[in-house]
Structure 1
Amino acid sequence: MSPERPQEQGAATGLSRPGLRGREAELERLRALVEAVRDGEGGAIALLLGEPGIGKTALLREAVSLARAHGFLVSHGRAEELHELAPLASLASGLLHGDPPLLSGTDFADLAGHHDQRIWLVERLAQLIEERSAGRPVLIAVDDVQWADPLSRFALSVMPARLLSSPVLWLLTGREDPELYGQGPLTTTLPLRPLSDTALAELARDVLGGDVPARLEELLDGAGGNPFLAAEMLSGIAGTGADGPEPPERLVLGVRERLADLRPDTLHFLRIGSVLGRAFSLADAAALCGRPASGLSAEVDEALAAALLHDDGERLLFRHDLLRQAVYADLAPSVRRALHREAASRLVAAGRSSVDAVPHLLKSAEPGDTEAIGLLGTAAEDVIAVMPDLAADLAVRALELVPPRAPLAYDVGERAIVALTRAGRYTQARDTGDALLARRPPLDVFARLQCVLGDTLWHLDDVHELTRRTTTALAAVTDPVIRARLTARQALARSRGSDLGAARETGERALAEAERAGDREARVLALWGLGEIALNAGDCAAAVEHHTALSVFDPAFLPEEAVALIHGDDFDAVRRLLRTAGDVPLRLAMLIWAQGTLNMGLGRLDDADADFVTVERLEADLNVPNNLVNSRVNRGLLAMLRGDREAAREHLDVVRTTVADRPNTGNHAAHRFFEAVVADADGDHAAAAELIRSVQRDHPFLRWRLLRPHVVQAVHIALRGGDRKLAEDLAAQAAAHATRNPAVPTAQGTAAHASALVNADHGLLERAVEILLTGPRPLSLAAASADLGRALLASGDAAATPALTRAHDLYAQAGADAEADRVRADLERATSRSGRRTGRLRPRTDQGWDALTASERKVARLIAAGHTNRSAAETLVVSPHTVSTHLASIFRKLAVRSRVHLARIVLAEDDAGTATGD
């Protein structure tokens, strides 16, 4: 029996038997994983790696049988070499065809409807699998994963870690390329080595039905321990004797001998099939043969009889990929190229998509092939939303096929720039554009290329070059649409300059031009630019107006509307907006960034930290860490509030490295402010003040957007550093911001607070507290109350106690333990005269139930009660991603791996009465 054929025997029979000779140890490890997942030990990942024919599929099928015998719901699929452009095809091959299927057709249709949103799709797919695994364990097996389409590959790299707390076992087979599969610490990798001499001898006895002569054992050495090659040799020997060439040539020549006995039409049919892939439809082969499918029955029957093909009821498959490769290798290279090119044309003519034709074009297209150039471009457009890297590769390949001086190069090149930019390959996009510009294109083409390069330069944060190029292009442009887009790009670039008045005029002109031209892209850019200009200028009402108009026009910009509303203190509107965002699966990382910003404002520090961790994870999944610096700055500031200096320094190290690797103006400003906070906490007040001064001096366009929530902290740093002038400048800017935003309590209260610190004015501190009591930010109120209490304490005023008590309670409720302890010390001084004492906050531990934050305890109890991540998120009104982040932290702190173990701990804590006040 071939080791790659399905096993006839049940999973409970002995280990050493045909098809599994020499794989006893690997099978035992798989058996242990199946039983561990079944018994509630959490999820697991297993990789079976090895060369073709080494026995991966046989072992996978045996594991599938074991899992079914243990009650698993099984998805068993296979990736195909020439199907790697079809989004999610590799996973779908198993998810939809189990008994019962893991996903229903309705589930998959819902996913397919949003295949252009990778993060949303993978999260939704993970939710569905999590829900299915609530009642019984799940096995997801994918064979030949090295051929997986990019979306399936992305899902396979993300979902196993996402579902490790659920009873889901992932079993993947592939070639020796471990970096392909996103391995983690809980991954079991099983490299399949060549069979031992003993195992080969057992295999020989299985095939030959008796003892193996010594001469055959010597011949088997030529198989290199590969069980498929050995089995094929033995089958040939059983039928024809032992004479003949040594492998691996023997396999190709053996297949050639079989082919020589076939009728010419059958031989042609098999060669066509080998070009189409290991699995192919009869209709595709018929189209390429130029014959009706009904006329190929004799050829199919003969190929099946020769044990070269297998019919699974839907497609024809070469019995093993090595057999297909042997047939394919017997074709001359020029014939292969011609057949691939003909296959592409035939598939298109038969109504198949460009995605089906492109794999053949990549193997056959030559320079000047205009049909191939067009099909590659169409395929790039089809997949750019969900697989931008693949789209970029296809677009670049299309450009390579264009003759150097052909006018077509500009249109094809423009699409390549767009695709490269979407894929985050900004330097390559800019170089591609500059190479096209060096050919001195006509002025209208010049302007169009500069227009698409504008997005590239924005992502490179090269706003000076963006301004220069848009200005030059505007002098040459005649097309009103391109003019509107260029003007909008110019406004966006100027939003980062010092003359925000001129930037606003440019943005308003861009919006008017966009509306006259009726161009959607220009209007989006203009509204975005105007919103950024307003935020950087501190005009919260205008920022909300522009970003609201933008998100109504394009829901992808809903996070920008949320952030603008947060700056305006309209937290209720932000909550409503984020509750509706689940219906718009766009830019999830940015949505959660907005949610984290809101939670910081609300003083929900644990949730904010989880949100920022989630943003980092999502952006790392997509390999676009746009918010890494700002995320780590926020997490570092949260760590300082909690008193975790070690964590703050770890965040600062990441910020320093990231800024060095990817410098941009905004990152430098945030970085320097964080450096100032750390230096001030370390007692280096002069250095801290100088860092604040540098933010003020070098980054005027961002200073208020950056310092707006932290201006009081900046004033304290300036005063401790002995720079009264800097403190006065900061207070004056806070006052100007308050004047611009009379309806924003935080702006008014913060201005009063900053001025009170500079002028040592108790009355202004009281006024600041009164205003901030009407606002939504507890930490701003706590800071003002603490400063008021300290001032009153210094003057001997008994009113210090209630002010300090309010500050202490607000900080403690938020989890700002360091600030709460500082205020507690002052409060003890205020209350010592009356004999009252305040309780010290219990320090957090690193491990165990006491290490969990309040938010983590809520999540733990919901999960222990049987909630899925999705239903827990709905209960807590947060994102399922945030619940997943909390759950990962819970598992780490409690040293558990599964929901079953978590439920036991929660039950024990509740029974013992130790989990109170959660």
Structure 2
Amino acid sequence: MTPGRPDGEGVATPGSAGLSRPGLRGREAELERLRALVEAVRDGEGGAVASLRGEPGIGKTVLLEETVSIARARGFAVSHGRAEELHELAPLASLASGLLHGDPPLLSSTDFADLAGHHDQRVWLVERLAQLIEERAAATPVLVAIDDVQWADPLSRFALGVLPARLLSSPVLWLLAGRNAPEPYGQGPRTTTLPLRPLSGTALAALARDVLGEDVPERVARLLDGAAGNPFLASEMLTGIAASGGDGPQPPERLVLGVRDRLAGLRPDTLHFLRIGSVLGRAFTLADAAALCGRPASGLGAELDEAISTGLLHDEGERLLFRHDLLRQAVYADLTPSVRRALHREAASRLVAAGRSSVDAVPHLLKSAEPGDLEAVGLLGAAATDMIAVMPERAADLATRALELVPRHAPMMFDVGERAVVALTRAGRYTRARDTGDALLARRPPLEVFARLQCVLGDTLWHLDEVHELTRRSTAALAAVTDPVVRARLTARLAMARSRGRDLGAARETGERALAEAERAGDREARVLALWALGEIALNAGDCAAAVEHHTALSVFDTAFLPEEAVARIHTDDFDTVRRLLGTAGDAPLRPAMLIWAQGTLNMGLGRLDDADADFVTAERLEADLHVPGNLVNIRVNRGLLAMLRGDRDAAREHLDVVRAAVAARPNTGNHAAHQYFEAVVADAGGDHAAAAELVRSAQRDHPLLRWRLLRPHVVQAVGIALRGGDRNLAEDLAAQAGEHAARNPSVPTARGAAAHAAGLVDADPGLLERSVRVLLTGPRPLPLAAASADLGRALLTAGDPAAAPALARAHDIYTRAGADAEADRVRADPERAAGRSGRRTGGLRPRHGQGWDALTASERKVARLIAAGHTNRSAAEALVVSPHTVNTHLASIFRKLSVRSRVHLARIVLAEGDAGKPPAAE
């Protein structure tokens, strides 16, 4: 093996004609597949992922480097980086190791600084990174190669889990090399996994001929069996044999661990220097090694020269690198466990003393800290605090490890434990968080500590939907607390719990008290909680104006809650203000899933069913990326109701299955209410009217918050279900609620129109139905207007009134424009049924095309034309005034329906359709 080579997975190959790099013997098939992937991406086949997997020394690095060379030769812009074991806590370090290097680098230092400034907003960061790579890929294909990806830092792992799918339509090839363990990223329909298996005997023989010439003694072939097909170990053996002239057999076990032969001949100071380096990691700086050796860096020249000359280290200039991780592991393995632990602990202290961050010290602490190490407790806690916004899962690991190190009766136990509860809750480990908090409470802490712990456990209990327990604990803690900040937060938590109860008047009083206490205490968290609780209480009480007031105050105070203000305003029919709000949110990095949920809710209100569905799909995808599907039930219920409007009952049932599973996994009061109502709609459409009416009745009885939320905007549909189920009392109750809701919200056309519509159905009164239409004509929602017009037309049709025709025509036109095909079919069939003809029934008899250009929605066609014209996702989003996330959702649907894999293929189809003369106006 040539000393100094950083990859170390090959040997000098004088006889390997046709192989451009050492170490490729036996990997010809894998190399050909990688070459084909490079060429497919270059030729416009879209993005792809290649995953190289195998044990250390199996040849991953040399294959990756060869692929990088091939890609460069074919005009790719290349990012070639490496993840490092002891740097896994540095946000985005693994991706940055390649993105910031190259000629020119894939990302400028300015672009990366912008990303780093938002590292705590993962979705925003990945979207912005995708935009930058997409823009670069528009000019030239891109290869992003990362070696040792198993060590990738959490933020880089998150990005790698999202970016390949996000950039699937762009010419970007992701090449990820790592150990055998399955990877939680880089998977998808365009993923090629290449498991590197041990070399065959034929390949090992060829490798031996490359090093030793054509005459390979039989005893060498037998010795190579000790390498078990690992090319690095085989190369080490052959290098040793070549260096010794082939004289005298070496013991196989010493050949397999060939590095020990070199270690045994080193001077003691060099051996100590290498052992220090192995503790610091595969890559380390001379300054760090010198500090740990207790010597000046200038005094280590002889040791460094000897380590390099024996082929163990490679000098990259800014840092030193073990030529292969197996070499580092061999040196590291010669340290006894107690020495390893001591060196790691000393390394942590030295790094901190040198002014390095806790992120640099923590990997060493995790390998060395023992119970009672209070410095380690502090550093782990500081690192957890720094990471909680970036990677809450890793922060939870660090915080719980810090808690494990605290002596059992140490006073700091409660402070460290409180941080662990917060971190576990932020990571979504709610049961573990509650158990940790309860274990601390079992130690009978002082009353103030008891109250503080109950306060942080309040967030946990809210997420677990343990509302009654939250109420009980908050009440008990309030009796013990004197700290005004903790009191304000506990009172706000109590208000949130009471927002789910029946006495919303008492809940409102609690919320107002919490807000006053928060303002007196000057506590931001308590104020946010109090305003949020007051907004939720107002929505649950049907007081839309108060909900807007509180959510607007919350949004002004904390812009992360802009989606809540938007949704509250949607309830008041103030769609113009909502459009402005969402327009100003634009590129905001905060809570993109909730912003898109609000956009979907607006589009649903506007009757833009295709756009609403795309928004809901996008919101669900973004939540899934973060592993926090908090809004999954509401998303799927809305998508199911959209599917029913379209007449796609199969899709509705699929959504219902997801809802059932989600509610079973996370029993939330609001989720149960939405679930029951959706079950009622599906049962009613299937003809089981009695069961549907019972579901609505039980939802009203068991979930009081639904009594008012059902009225926005489903009360008319619920009244129809009750009437068809023969439950007139339920229908009258719902209509009475609608009237009360309208009285509370006199400025909201939808509230007044729905009340008149519901009463008109219950009383069979065409006059009320006509009033409903008049009111709804002044509002912004087309679908309630269509429903009222349809019911008015049916009533007039029954009475033989010729005014039925224009009412039914209005309903049909609105439903058709919205894409509510099932409802449009029902309205068209009404006159035929009234005339005694067999009118064509609905229920999904006109399914949409599943494939081809005709299967695209109007919004998808707009996106397709923009992308085909050369727009990026970002510029297409700006042209359509939507989120780039939504454009990506449309694009994924377009690719699926058109069976294409790249923008090049899409452009050809769009061009063909343009030649066929299908102008946008026809859509």
**In structure 1, which of residues 904, 908, 915 is the aligned counterpart of residue 908 of structure 2?**
904
> In the TM superposition, what is the alpha-carbon distance from 1:759 to its structure 2 partner?
1.1
Counterpart Cα distance in 1 of 2:551 and 2:901: 43
Corresponding residue of 1:70:
74
Opposite residue 100 of structure 1, the aligned amino acid is P
Opposite residue 330 of structure 1, the aligned amino acid is D
SS at match of 2:586: helix
SS at match of 1:165: coil
Change (3 A) 1:422 1:232: same
Kindly report which structure 2 residues correspond to 1:546-695, keeping only aligned pairs within 5 A, or say none.
Answer: 546-695=550-699
> In the TM superposition, what is the alpha-carbon distance from 1:6 to its structure 2 partner?
8.5
Change (3 A) 1:691 1:539: same
Change (3 A) 1:794 1:367: same
Change (3 A) 1:411 1:247: farther
SS at match of 1:655: helix
Corresponding residue of 1:176:
180
Corresponding residue of 2:354:
350
**In structure 1, which of residues 859, 865, 874 is the aligned counterpart of residue 869 of structure 2?**
865
Corresponding residue of 1:730:
734
> In the TM superposition, what is the alpha-carbon distance from 1:299 to its structure 2 partner?
2.0
Kindly indicate whether residue 917 of structure 2 is the aligned counterpart of residue 913 of structure 1. Answer: yes
SS at match of 2:656: helix
Opposite residue 238 of structure 1, the aligned amino acid is A
**In structure 2, which of residues 875, 879, 882 is the aligned counterpart of residue 875 of structure 1?**
879
Corresponding residue of 1:761:
765
> In the TM superposition, what is the alpha-carbon distance from 1:261 to its structure 2 partner?
2.7
Counterpart Cα distance in 2 of 1:56 and 1:379: 33
Counterpart Cα distance in 2 of 1:242 and 1:627: 71
**Could you give the per-residue CA deviations for residues 868-888 of structure 1, whole angstroms, max 9, x where no partner exists?**
111111111111111111111
**Could you give the per-residue CA deviations for residues 740-782 of structure 1, whole angstroms, max 9, x where no partner exists?**
1111111111111111111111111111111111111110111
Kindly indicate whether residue 198 of structure 2 is the aligned counterpart of residue 194 of structure 1. Answer: yes
- 8 Å CA contact 1:222–1:248 kept in 2: the answer is yes
Query: Taking structure 1 as the reference length, what is the TM-score of the superposition?
Result: 0.97
- 8 Å CA contact 1:146–1:180 kept in 2: the answer is no
Opposite residue 494 of structure 1, the aligned amino acid is R
Opposite residue 628 of structure 2, the aligned amino acid is V
Counterpart Cα distance in 2 of 1:491 and 1:622: 28
> In the TM superposition, what is the alpha-carbon distance from 1:828 to its structure 2 partner?
5.4
Counterpart Cα distance in 2 of 1:67 and 1:707: 59
Corresponding residue of 2:166:
162
Query: Taking structure 2 as the reference length, what is the TM-score of the superposition?
Result: 0.96
- 8 Å CA contact 1:16–1:22 kept in 2: the answer is no
**Could you give the per-residue CA deviations for residues 16-50 of structure 1, whole angstroms, max 9, x where no partner exists?**
86310000000000011000000001111000100
**In structure 1, which of residues 211, 215, 239 is the aligned counterpart of residue 215 of structure 2?**
211
Corresponding residue of 2:412:
408
Deviates further, 850-859 or 176-185: 176-185
Counterpart Cα distance in 2 of 1:523 and 1:13: 73
> In the TM superposition, what is the alpha-carbon distance from 1:243 to its structure 2 partner?
4.6
Corresponding residue of 2:286:
282
Counterpart Cα distance in 1 of 2:12 and 2:816: 65
Counterpart Cα distance in 1 of 2:566 and 2:170: 33
Deviates further, 153-162 or 243-252: 243-252
Counterpart Cα distance in 2 of 1:296 and 1:16: 36
Opposite residue 323 of structure 1, the aligned amino acid is L
Opposite residue 680 of structure 1, the aligned amino acid is D
Kindly report which structure 2 residues correspond to 1:457-856, keeping only aligned pairs within 5 A, or say none.
Answer: 457-827=461-831, 843-856=847-860
- 8 Å CA contact 1:139–1:170 kept in 2: the answer is yes
- 8 Å CA contact 1:251–1:326 kept in 2: the answer is no
> In the TM superposition, what is the alpha-carbon distance from 1:259 to its structure 2 partner?
2.4
Query: 5+ unaligned residues in a row in structure 2: which ranges?
Result: 838-843
**Could you give the per-residue CA deviations for residues 190-229 of structure 1, whole angstroms, max 9, x where no partner exists?**
0011111111111112222342111100000100111110
Deviates further, 695-704 or 738-747: 695-704
Counterpart Cα distance in 1 of 2:376 and 2:303: 31
- 8 Å CA contact 1:255–1:326 kept in 2: the answer is yes
- 8 Å CA contact 2:489–2:525 kept in 1: the answer is yes
Change (3 A) 1:258 1:505: same
**Could you give the per-residue CA deviations for residues 398-450 of structure 1, whole angstroms, max 9, x where no partner exists?**
00001111111100000000000000000000000000000111111100000
Counterpart Cα distance in 1 of 2:540 and 2:823: 30
SS at match of 2:714: helix
**In structure 2, which of residues 287, 291, 298 is the aligned counterpart of residue 294 of structure 1?**
298
- 8 Å CA contact 1:392–1:419 kept in 2: the answer is yes
Counterpart Cα distance in 2 of 1:17 and 1:403: 55
Counterpart Cα distance in 2 of 1:583 and 1:74: 28
SS at match of 2:800: coil
Corresponding residue of 1:360:
364
Corresponding residue of 1:836:
none
Kindly indicate whether residue 238 of structure 2 is the aligned counterpart of residue 234 of structure 1. Answer: yes
Counterpart Cα distance in 1 of 2:460 and 2:912: 56
Kindly indicate whether residue 128 of structure 2 is the aligned counterpart of residue 128 of structure 1. Answer: no
- 8 Å CA contact 2:573–2:748 kept in 1: the answer is yes
> How many equivalent pairs are there?
910
Corresponding residue of 1:250:
255
Opposite residue 797 of structure 1, the aligned amino acid is D
- 8 Å CA contact 1:18–1:203 kept in 2: the answer is no
Corresponding residue of 2:143:
139
- 8 Å CA contact 1:669–1:703 kept in 2: the answer is no
**Could you give the per-residue CA deviations for residues 765-809 of structure 1, whole angstroms, max 9, x where no partner exists?**
111111111111110111111111111111111111111111111
Change (3 A) 1:239 1:380: same
**Could you give the per-residue CA deviations for residues 152-208 of structure 1, whole angstroms, max 9, x where no partner exists?**
111111111111111000000001012433422321000011111111111112222
Change (3 A) 1:882 1:13: farther
Counterpart Cα distance in 2 of 1:682 and 1:676: 10
Corresponding residue of 1:35:
39
Kindly indicate whether residue 280 of structure 2 is the aligned counterpart of residue 269 of structure 1. Answer: no
Kindly indicate whether residue 396 of structure 2 is the aligned counterpart of residue 392 of structure 1. Answer: yes
**Could you give the per-residue CA deviations for residues 582-612 of structure 1, whole angstroms, max 9, x where no partner exists?**
3421111111111111111011111111111
Counterpart Cα distance in 2 of 1:128 and 1:779: 40
- 8 Å CA contact 1:367–1:403 kept in 2: the answer is yes
Counterpart Cα distance in 2 of 1:148 and 1:385: 18
> In the TM superposition, what is the alpha-carbon distance from 1:4 to its structure 2 partner?
3.4
Counterpart Cα distance in 2 of 1:206 and 1:650: 60
Counterpart Cα distance in 2 of 1:456 and 1:282: 46
**Could you give the per-residue CA deviations for residues 477-534 of structure 1, whole angstroms, max 9, x where no partner exists?**
1111101100000001101110000000000000111111111111111111001001
Counterpart Cα distance in 2 of 1:909 and 1:9: 55
Counterpart Cα distance in 2 of 1:120 and 1:17: 40
- 8 Å CA contact 1:817–1:841 kept in 2: the answer is no
SS at match of 1:700: coil
Opposite residue 431 of structure 2, the aligned amino acid is T
> In the TM superposition, what is the alpha-carbon distance from 1:140 to its structure 2 partner?
0.4
- 8 Å CA contact 1:96–1:104 kept in 2: the answer is yes
- 8 Å CA contact 1:166–1:899 kept in 2: the answer is yes
Counterpart Cα distance in 1 of 2:832 and 2:149: 64
Corresponding residue of 2:841:
none
- 8 Å CA contact 2:798–2:834 kept in 1: the answer is no
- 8 Å CA contact 1:414–1:433 kept in 2: the answer is yes
Deviates further, 273-282 or 705-714: 705-714
Query: 5+ unaligned residues in a row in structure 1: which ranges?
Result: 834-839
Change (3 A) 1:841 1:652: closer
Change (3 A) 1:19 1:480: same
Kindly indicate whether residue 267 of structure 2 is the aligned counterpart of residue 260 of structure 1. Answer: no
Deviation beyond 6 Å, 4+ runs, structure 1: 6-10, 829-833
Counterpart Cα distance in 1 of 2:62 and 2:894: 38
Counterpart Cα distance in 2 of 1:711 and 1:176: 56
SS at match of 1:190: strand
Opposite residue 479 of structure 1, the aligned amino acid is D
- 8 Å CA contact 2:94–2:153 kept in 1: the answer is yes
Counterpart Cα distance in 2 of 1:57 and 1:506: 62
Counterpart Cα distance in 2 of 1:247 and 1:393: 42
Corresponding residue of 1:308:
312
